[in-house]
Structure 1
Amino acid sequence: MQHLVLASSSPRRKELLTNLGITFDVLSSSIEETIDPSVTPEETVLSLAEQKAMDVAKQYPSSYVVGADTIVVYDSQILGKPKDEQDAKHMLRMLSGNTHYVLTGVSIVVNGQPSSFYVRTDVTFWPISEDEISQYIESREPFDKAGSYGIQGLGSLFVKEIKGDYFSVVGLPISRLKRELAKIGFTV
């Protein structure tokens, strides 16, 4: 019998994965997320997703283990989760009135073999006033989000345009994942 495991504690990823209509388990990876500035954002997001999936696959060697990671990139710079309020404000000011891109890397590991891909989505923000930034910071929403915003929450009020997969920006490109699982033999 096929068994799927999500290697993430993200409530957003868990919610999206339920859209497949299958039963799955959740086990968060314990890897230390480090970003090597000498590799591309694409290589970074694929590496982090694969590390998470491989870590959890040790406990579920015959299951299909899905690891994912999402990063925000502006002007060739990876914007992670903000360290504090000043960092969040700095990121939001950078993104204000500009286009950035979001990469979500996904790795599916079964029998120790990873199958990985990433999805790129371009996001354009309206210009954001200092008052809007301060109000958003006060909501506390930015603090566990790459790039200091959540597109599925109050951060949606900043989005002028999106080109690509909305669900990838949320954290899991579910339609692509369904197709990739099918390619490696998982029945959805």
Structure 2
Amino acid sequence: MAMEDSNVAPKNKSFEIILGSSSAARREILAEMGYEFSIMADALMIKLEATGKLKEMSRPTLLITADTVVVYQGTIREKPSNEREARQFITDYSGSSARVVGSVLVTNLVTGCRKGGWDSAEVYFLDIPEEVVDSLIEEGITFNVAGGLMLEHPLIFPLVDTVIGTADCVMGLSKTLTENLIRDAL
């Protein structure tokens, strides 16, 4: 994947990165961090291992995977599974808060070294109008993200009162955590 500004040299000249995620937010964050990377699904990783292609890698190759959940009043929330659940999730956040917990695992595919960790952030919301809830559900984006909300969504962003922690953690890939894990896995 090419970086946004072709005049900027990538940070990872001595190693390769594979992002094991289809998340647009994670792709954006990793590119913002200055890395070039390719995207590969878990099924392809299994195929690489089975065919011995991993052993043929000439320089360190890091696989970065991540997952995010939302915790609301002690209950873990993944992606909403239906409209009723999505509506309940978003309505619950109105005038309230939720904690986002994101985990990152960096695997050095050449050495087998694995380094993982987690980060969290607390998001406080203003009142979320019913028409915003309706629009988000109609748009369908709410079904693709943990807890049903994207901090960066233009309908939600103005309704975020405070974030204690970092926006990149809320969006699915903590920059500081990822940088530290990359360093440790090399």
In the superposition, the TM-score normalised over structure 1's length comes to 0.77
Q: Specify the SS of the correspondent of 2:127.
A: coil
Say whether 1:118 aligns with 2:118. yes
The percentage of aligned residue pairs carrying the same residue is 25
Quote the residue 1:165 is aligned against: 166
Question: Where does 1:34-113 land on structure 2 (aligned, <5 Å)?
Answer: 58=49, 60=54, 63-110=61-108, 111-113=111-113
Partner residue, 1:2: 15
Q: 1:87 to 1:180 in 2, by over 3 A?
A: same
Which residue pairs with 1:136 in the alignment?
A: 136
8 Å Cα contact 1:57/1:63 also seen in 2 = no
Q: State how 1:168-187 maps to structure 2 within 5 Å.
A: 168-185=169-186
Alpha-carbon separation, structure 1, partners of 2:96 and 2:116: 29
RMSD of aligned residue pairs (Cα, Å) = 2.3
Contact 2:105 2:115 survives alignment (8 Å): yes
Aligned length: 163
Superposition deviation, residue 60 in structure 1: 4.1
User: SS of the counterpart of 1:66?
Assistant: strand
For residue 56 of structure 1, report the CA deviation from its aligned partner: 8.7
Spell out, residue by residue over 1:11-56, the C-alpha distance to the aligned partner (whole angstroms, 9 max, x if none): 21111111232321110225xxxxxxxxxxxxxxxxxxxxxxx869
- Note the residue ranges of structure 2 that are not aligned, 5 or more in a row: 1-13
Question: Who is 1:37 aligned against?
Answer: none
1:10, 1:57 → 2: CA distance? 22
Distance in 2 (CA, whole Å) between partners of 1:131 and 1:160 is 19
How far apart are residue 180 of structure 1 and its match? 2.6
Aligned to 1:97, the other structure's residue is in SS state coil
Secondary structure at the residue paired with 2:178?
helix
Consecutive unaligned residues in structure 1, runs of 5 or more: 31-53
| Superposition TM-score, scaled by structure 2 size | 0.78
Identify if the C-alpha distance between structure 1 residues 56 and 158 changes in structure 2 by more than 3 Å, giving closer, same or farther: farther
Q: Secondary structure at the match of 2:124?
A: strand
- Structure 2 distance, partners of 1:56, 1:71, is 28
Q: What code does the residue aligned with 2:100 have?
A: V
Cα deviation, 1:39-87, whole Å, max 9, x if unaligned, reads: xxxxxxxxxxxxxxx8698464652111100111101111111112111
- Residue of 3, 9, 17 corresponding to 2:30: 17
Counterpart residue type for residue 166 of structure 2:
D
Q: 1:148 to 1:104 in 2, by over 3 A?
A: same
